Structure 1
Amino acid sequence: MIKWAGRLLAFIGAVHLLVGLLLSRTYFGDWLFFRLWGHWWEDTRAANAFWGSPAGFGLPLFVIGLLVTWMDRRGITPPVFLPWVVLPWTVVCTVSVEPSPAPLATAASVLLLVGVRRSARPAGS
């Protein structure tokens, strides 16, 4: 369960990041030349694209998925706080943003939680 949760989280994060970057490629120049905001209180399309892609959900989720997969390959059980942090994050995204792959991330978080809990039990119980 832990292996598949890590793979799924990494996949969702990578796809989110890549698709977001692909869709926002017209704003790369604005990002590189610090033109994210008109006035400090006004967002621009470039700022929204920035927060939705490189500064958004995808990269941290990708890193978490890679970390979980790395830990699983070494026989290390991820700490129980990890799924308890990722689960509410993905639930809020599932409820707030539709359509999105957030329900898959929520399912991966549940898999991770169940896998971590099972791994924490003593053998034979």
Structure 2
Amino acid sequence: MFFGMAHTLGALTVEGAARHAGAWFSQDLWGASLAEMSPAMSAYWLSVNSFGPPFIVIGLIVLWLNRRGITPPSFIAWSLGGWTMVDLILSGPGVGQGLIILTASALLLMDARRIKHRTRPGAHADKRYAGQ
């Protein structure tokens, strides 16, 4: 959740994407070419249409599950970790965002593994393990 908020808010403020909001709301992006990306379109893709907002939602889901004593399913961690590895291979290492996401993915996997090994095979004694 922290990464999604930092990315989105940073893009809107530090990177100045919010100054293009007038173009976004006046339908200037409708029918615009991605091949000839305008500054307003680039700012939109960096902020509102980036993966920042979905990261916020994923983070909130993980927190919601945790507060109810439910371990998030390991596919969330594998998906985020895999996506991050592809991103790092294609774009190169950034300023640490990949490390942050990979660390979060590893922590989620370790918790899912810990809960799985605490539960007897075939039994559903531990309500925290949502992966069975």
Alpha-carbon offset, residue 116 of structure 1: 1.4
Alignment correspondent of 2:2: 11
Q: Deviations over 1:37-79 (max 9, x none)?
A: 7853421111111111111021111111111011011011111
User: Which has more radius of gyration?
Assistant: 2
Structure 1 unpaired stretches of 5+: 1-9
Specify the SS of the correspondent of 1:108.
Answer: helix
Alignment correspondent of 1:102: 98
Q: Deviations over 1:14-42 (max 9, x none)?
A: 11111111120111011111212785342
Q: Alignment length, in residue pairs?
A: 116
Which one of 10, 22, 42 corresponds to residue 29 of structure 1? Answer: 22
**TM-score, normalization by structure 2:** 0.76
Identify the structure with the greater helix proportion. 1
Distance 1:54 1:100 in 2: 21
**TM-score, normalization by structure 1:** 0.80
Which one of 111, 117, 123 corresponds to residue 113 of structure 2? Answer: 117
Structure 2 unpaired stretches of 5+: 121-132
